[in-house]
């Protein structure tokens, strides 16, 4: 049993270290000579990277942040081979705790002086490691809101608030995937906590949305600009070069 506890603690440490990978900071400094935490919203996340450095930097940042959350949670599936773990319900609950640990690492990364981002992409990846169908539904909501109103913060808040709604409808499938036959109350509670946390971390954005001062993000405009630069049809310097 001591070895089981040791393995669980080790997996949580790995989850935190994975969450601490500061993709926005490392990519910005390595390839553009820019610390995104000193520009724009000063947030080490995909949206600020998109505004400061463009899509070529933002896409890998999003992918890495998503994957680190997904891997941080998925590694807990290894515990199913431990005879001391009483049931699949325990693994689900440990995965839920791993989400918080990974996001904590993203917000307070040990590799970047504990100054990170808000963790939306990491939450999405982590939740995908538990219930991919619900995660993809939330991502679809995020995409629709962003394309209609062009506010990343609004898209994140609405997608986060839709999370407990989707869980309430589909939560029984979460446990069925683990061979169980009852609803995950802990996952339902977790979904409400995530929704409230996303609203809280975006509280300043909410104020700007109400004041009409929140900056918009036109995704198509960023992509068309990148395409124009690659084809040599734009006279502007490439993304990131005029931001230093």
pLDDT reported for residue 128 = 95
Is residue 239 in a domain? no
pLDDT at 238 over 50: no
pLDDT band for position 236 (50/70/90)?
low
Is residue 63 in a domain? yes
Is residue 75 in a domain? yes
Query: Which candidate, 178, 143, 181, places its Cα nearest to that of 162?
Result: 143
- SS3 assignment for the chain: CHHHHHHHHHHHHHHHHHHCCCHHHHHHHHHHCCCHHHCCCCCCCHHHHHHHHCHHHHHHHHHHHHHHHHHHHHHHHHHHHCCCCCCHHHHHHHHHHHHHHHHHHHHCCHHHCCCCCCCHHHHHHHHHCCCHHHHHHHHHHHHHHHHHHCCHHHHHHHHHHHHHHHHHHHHHHHHHCCCCCCCCHHHHHHHHHHHHHHHHHCHHHHHHHHHCCCCCCCHHHHHHHHHHHHCCCCCCCCCCCCCC
Lowest mean pLDDT among 3-12, 174-183, 187-196: 174-183
Is residue 204 in a domain? yes
Residue range(s) defining the domain that contains residue 18: 2-230
pLDDT at 237 over 80: no
- Residues 58-69 pLDDT 10s: 999 999 999 999
Place of tokens 């820019």: 34
Q: What is the mean pLDDT of residues 195-209?
A: 92
Q: What is the pTM of this model?
A: 0.84
Total structural domains within the chain: 1
- Residues 36-60 pLDDT 10s: 999 988 899 999 999 899 888 999 9
Is residue 244 in a domain? no
> In terms of C-beta density within 10 A (0-12 exposed, 13-18 middle, 19 or more buried), how is residue 130 classed?
buried
Do residues 89 and 178 make contact, with C-beta atoms less than 8 angstroms apart? yes
Is residue 236 in a domain? no
Is residue 9 in a domain? yes
Q: What is the mean pLDDT of residues 87-100?
A: 88
Q: Higher model confidence: residue 219 or residue 114?
A: 114
Do residues 129 and 74 make contact, with C-beta atoms less than 8 angstroms apart? yes
Is residue 117 in a domain? yes
Query: Which candidate, 43, 21, 77, 72, places its Cα nearest to that of 204?
Result: 43
């Amino acid at each position: 049993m001591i070895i089981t506890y040791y393995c669980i603690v080790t997996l949580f440490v790995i989850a935190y270290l994975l969450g601490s990978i500061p993709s926005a900071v490392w990519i910005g400094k390595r390839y553009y000579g820019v610390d995104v935490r000193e520009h724009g919203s000063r947030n080490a996340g995909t949206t600020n990277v998109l505004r400061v450095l463009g899509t070529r930097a933002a896409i890998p940042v999003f992918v890495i942040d998503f994957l680190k959350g997904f891997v941080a949670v998925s590694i807990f599936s290894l515990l199913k081979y431990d005879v001391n773990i009483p049931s699949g319900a325990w693994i689900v609950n440990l995965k839920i705790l791993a989400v918080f640990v990974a996001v904590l690492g993203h917000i307070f990364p040990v590799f970047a002086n504990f100054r990170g981002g808000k963790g939306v992409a990491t939450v999405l990846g982590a939740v995908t490691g538990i219930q991919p169908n619900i995660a993809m539904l939330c991502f679809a909501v995020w995409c629709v809101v962003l394309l209609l109103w062009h506010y990343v913060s609004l898209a994140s808040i609405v997608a986060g608030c839709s999370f407990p709604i989707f869980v309430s409808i589909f939560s029984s499938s979460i446990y069925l995937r683990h061979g169980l036959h009852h609803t995950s109350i802990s996952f339902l509670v977790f979904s409400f906590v995530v929704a409230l946390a996303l609203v809280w971390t975006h509280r300043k954005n909410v104020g700007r949305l109400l004041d009409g001062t929140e900056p918009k993000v036109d995704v198509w405009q960023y992509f068309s600009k990148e395409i124009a630069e690659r084809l040599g049809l734009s006279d502007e310097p490439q993304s990131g070069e005029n931001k230093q």
